[in-house]
A and B are shown apart, each in its own frame.
Chain A
Amino acid sequence: MSAEQRRRDDEAAREWKGVYRHYDLVKEASIAFGVVLALALVLTILFSSPDEPPSTIRSWSRTNPVDFVTTAVTELDGSSVTATYGPPYNHASSGQHIAFIRLQKWFGTNIAINAAKDFVLAPLGSMPGTSSVRAAVATYQSASASQQAAWTTAYTNALDKATVSSADTVSIPAGNYGPVAPMMASLLTFAQTGGLDGALLTNKQFYQTDYTKPLMFMADGAVLSDRAAAEHLGGDQWGMMNETGAYPGQVWLWLYTFWYQIKPFSTSNNADILVMAVMGLMSTLFVLIPVLPGIRDIPRKIPIYKLIWRQHYESLGPPPTTVQSAIEPPMPPAAAAPG
């Protein structure tokens, strides 16, 4: 900072010796509160607020049973997004990184999810009175990894030719699917009755508030993304700042979602950590503007302040003849200053 700027800052730190005008702080705040409340009320009456019902595994398995079963098989064979995610859910990958910085890995696996066990095998095991299903699960679990893969691959390929009956069951051509076919049929039935919604919530206690597992399972399928795309909420639709319907969403995230639309972020496997790093840096700079040479000087160079303080500058009258009178405000009339 130059000596001249330091002098000016010192001037700005001085208590104002110029004219004061009467000002009722509490009255202004009360009026402002009334205006804001009235504005919110008008917007509420005109536009209300959106409330699209949530998807459930029950509704998903009924409206799109093939997608449900396809997703369930990917959970079973370990190829789903969740199964291959990495921290904090599992060790299937090390997660995103920038150079040697692997925060995702370093913070560990604190929300453990075993996709095959949690989404398929355990729910099937919890179904009441189904010895045939338990036998199928036992057969699958006792088979070699290569045998399991052969069954799930064959079943997945067959799903391309799957048909849905009027009873919302999935039919596939005959083939060697081992126990996978009866397992998937049972899981579909369980899901369509609503049982799987509850089974994925259950952990060690009666009260539940953690929806991680059912949400992760649904996110692996198309149930959420199809609805989101229809509501212009997709990542490539600037969805982060949108809202269901025609409502404004988190508009203040425009810059955050902007980065996802351009390279290298839009094509990077580490897009999230890269965008977080950029936004973290920009946020830090934003907070530190007062001490950043260049950025803090822009307001002096682009004289928007002349518009803001137009009345004040006009009140100063003709240019002064001494430096001192140029930097000092006009003296107040007698007793104009409060206190």
Chain B
Amino acid sequence: MSTSAERSWTVRLRKRAVAALPPEKLLPDGQPTYVASWIYVFGVLSLSALAALIMTGSILALKGPSWWHFSSTGHFFNSLHLWSVELFFFFMVIHLWGKYWMAAWRGGRVRVWITGAVTFLVAVPCALTGYVSQQNFDSQWISTQAKDAMNSVGIGSFFNLMNFGQMYSYHVFLLPLAVTGLVIAHILLVRRHGVVPPFELEDRLKAARAGATDGASS
């Protein structure tokens, strides 16, 4: 390769990306045999629910925030959006609990855990801004109540839950962008580091040590 090519930022970026995540690692066609439990399903279910709520949210965004109040089709897509959100959080919470009990941060996977946990935390205000953007009684009540918590820590002075325009912007663009970006980072990290292996069994280790000691003494 020529020197100019080696100096190219594009080439360097490509080399680093391919080195970190070669295609067979990015889209593997095999998994370690220990990846065999129903708990593993909840990661991909969370991802699917996110895709479903982005899809339904995009349809709602295409027609504007008032559409679903006056159109049965709009109400249908709003319902799909609501249930996708409920499923997203349900699957994500189970996924997080599962990963906690697997101590899935082991083996250099701390960033995998952190991106997952931060995704959950960012998804909470993402949902909140959706609730206050509904333009119904729910929005009125939630915004007037939740403002006190925001105001108490100073956030309310620049994040006004009663400002529909601001909340709608956060809900349909800024926070979904953050959630999606975090999820992409999370998935890439999972692909890079692989699925965390099982704990070694203490009784197997003890038996092995006992066996090794017996062998040495005989």
Chain A positions near chain B (C-beta within 8 angstroms): 8-16, 18-26, 28-29, 32-33, 35-37, 39-41, 43-44, 47-55, 85, 87-88, 95-96, 103-104, 106-111, 209-212, 215-216, 218-219, 224, 227-228, 231, 233, 235, 239-240, 243-244, 247-253, 270, 272-273, 275-277, 280, 283, 286-291, 296, 299-300, 302, 304-306, 308-313, 315-316, 319-327, 329, 337-339
Contact = CB atoms under 8 A, between A and B. Distances in A.
Contacts, number: 325
B198 interface: yes
Contact of B27 (A25, A107, A250): A25
A106 B153 CA distance: 9
B131 A305 contact: no
Interface stretch (B9-17, B136-144, B173-181): B136-144
Contacts of B80: 40-41, 44
A22 B35 CA distance: 11
Contacts of A25: 27-29
B151 A320 contact: no
A12, A110, A209: which has the most chain B beta carbons within 10 Å?
Answer: A12
Contact of A276 (B29, B100, B127, B153): B153
Given A25-B28, A305-B102, A312 B33 contact: yes
Contacts of A32: 41, 44-45, 47-48
Contact of A209 (B68, B91, B164, B207): B164
A312 B34 contact: yes
A20 B32 contact: yes
A243 B138 contact: yes
B96 to A, nearest CB: 9
Given A8-B106, A11-B200, A244-B137, A23 B117 contact: no
A24 B106 CA distance: 25
A308 B37 contact: yes
Interface in B60-92: 68-69, 75-76, 78-80, 82-84, 86-87, 89, 91
Contacts of B127: 250, 252
A276 B150 CA distance: 9
Contacts of A8: 106, 199-200
A109 B160 CA distance: 12
B58 interface: no
B6 interface: no
B164 A48 contact: no
A281 to B, nearest CB: 12
B93 interface: yes
Contacts of B35: 21, 23
Contacts of A9: 106-108
Q: Do most interface residues of chain B lie in helix, strand or loop, or is the interface mixed?
A: helix
B184 interface: no
Contacts of B172: none
> Closest 10 CB pairs between A and B?
A209-B165, A12-B107, A107-B154, A290-B105, A319-B207, A13-B107, A338-B30, A272-B152, A103-B154, A326-B208
A252 B211 contact: no
Contacts of B166: 209-210
A290 B113 contact: yes
Nearest to B149: A272
Given A272-B148, A320-B204, A296 B137 contact: no
Nearest to B140: A54
A215 B107 contact: no
A54 B136 contact: yes
A319 to B, nearest CB: 4
Nearest to B96: A286
A224 B34 CA distance: 54
B209 to A, nearest CB: 6
A219 B144 contact: yes
A76 B33 CA distance: 72
B114 interface: yes
Contacts of A35: 45, 48
Given A33-B51, A53-B137, A87 B144 contact: no
Contact of A305 (B101, B148, B155, B208): B101
Given A25-B29, A35-B45, A289-B100, A305 B198 contact: yes
6 contacts: A12-B109, A25-B27, A49-B83, A109-B157, A209-B165, A210-B164
